[in-house]
Structure 1
Amino acid sequence: MTRKVKIAVFASGSGSNFGAIEEACRNGALHAEIVVMVTNKPDAYVVERAKKAGIQVAAFCPKDFSTKDAYEEAILGTLREVDVEWLILAGYMRLIGQHLLSAYPSRIVNIHPSLLPSFPGKDAIGQAIEQGVKITGVTVHLVDEGMDTGPILAQRAVAVIDGDVDKTAEAIHAVEHELYKETLIELFSR
């Protein structure tokens, strides 16, 4: 049997994508192991999800560090301790800086709730509804120094439902969970 890819999942919120990735690892669909969950929000629900799954939690408050470099250096220390190979962003609401980009070149993956390059950044679903689009979607991409600008790995369209943010978000989350898993399976089999 081949060795599992050691991944760190970065998240800042409820952790629904974290949960989907963890389940895919646990049931063998994704040949990877989440060795640490990194968060910038120690009180986020994703922390509880990780603890329930028996996964190490590394919480770092950016305001506790004098610079972004110091913040990322602390994260890197933890990642190195557990030999992380890939960083998987799952609702991590911070731009990745040069320290992490240099340490994991072309090995940081993000998921975004729009068909990039449309509606990058925060509140992509709200942006789509405000613009009156009928179709939005999900993008999985590699991370670079920009805001949702890295090379696209996969995309899938999702219909905007009745101009409603919550209904559309629910539909997007269902697609995110499947598309992220499929994309990571393909990426780790290369």
Structure 2
Amino acid sequence: MKNIVIFASGTGSNAENIIHYFKNNNSKSVVAVFSNNSNAKVVEKAKKLNIETVVFNKDELYGDVVLSKLNDFKPDLVVLAGFLFKFPEHIIAAFPNKTINIHPALLPKYGGKGMYGNHVHQAVLDNKETETGITIHFVNEHYDEGGIIFQKSVSIIDCTTFEEVSMKVHQLEQEYFPKVIDKLL
């Protein structure tokens, strides 16, 4: 059995989608959801789906606590799905080429510190881009600079608000993120 551990900070729509995708899979499954936010909807969703949850604070993330708990789950893949902290180098080193992230733009454009969620979508609109998309990439010590695994673009010529851009990007995330995880494993 291949074990997937998801890190998320917010609503958990991608985490929930990934959990459902692998729910009846006999060779791969989501074994835990880690979150830095005890009030995050992702924690509630994971519990409802009978997925173990681990909530931690910043000190535990950058210390040894989170890595120790993560090792208990023996992950074959660590998936960042809307996780807002910079991922610690010592955890990346413990899981080389086994930690991935999804970014709501076509990297290397619109990546880096502070570029997440609607900040990205608004920047894309402000720069009058005609397309945007998703990038699934390996995580390294720099924000959004790890090797690109998969990209998919979508036209946003008809979009006038970041909410419209967000909806199109979210559709790509829901369709492709679980499939790319499946293929990687």
Match of 1:130 in 2: 126
**3-state secondary structure, aligned to 1:80:** helix
Change (3 A) 1:110 1:31: farther
Contact 2:61 2:67 in 1 (8 A): no
Report the residue type matching 2:13 in the other structure. S
Task: For residues 144-181 of structure 1, give each alpha carbon's deviation from its aligned partner in whole angstroms, at most 9, with x where no partner exists.
Answer: 11110010011000222422111211111111111111
Between the aligned partners of 2:29 and 2:61, the Cα distance in structure 1 is 28
Who is 1:76 aligned against?
A: 67
What do you get for the CA RMSD once the two structures are aligned? 1.5
Moved beyond 3 Å, runs of 4+: none
Q: Which residue of 2 aligns with 1:18?
A: 15
What TM-score, normalized by structure 2, do the two folds share? 0.91
Aligned residue pairs total: 179
Amino acid paired to 1:167: E
For residues 1-190 of structure 1, what are the structure 2 equivalents within 5 Å? 4-28=1-25, 31-62=27-58, 65=59, 69-70=62-63, 73-120=64-111, 121-122=115-116, 123-160=119-156, 161-188=158-185
Residue 98 of structure 1: CA displacement? 1.3
Tell me how far apart the structure 2 counterparts of residues 96 and 54 of structure 1 sit (CA, whole Å). 26
Query: Normalising by the residue count of structure 1, what TM-score does the alignment of the two structures yield?
Result: 0.89
Aligned AA (2:57): C
CA contact (8 A) 1:89 1:108 kept: yes
Inter-partner Cα distance in structure 1 for 2:122 and 2:176: 21
1:44-86 C-alpha deviation (Å, 9 max, x unpaired): 1001110000011101121xx2x8631xx21111111222221
- CA distance in structure 2 between the partners assigned to 1:182 and 1:106 by the alignment: 18
C-alpha distance in structure 2 between counterparts of 1:153 and 1:114, whole Å: 14
Contact persistence 1:42–1:61 (CA under 8 A): no
Letter of the aligned partner of 1:99 in structure 2?
H
Measured after TM superposition, the shift of residue 95 of structure 1 is: 1.0
CA contact (8 A) 1:31 1:185 kept: no
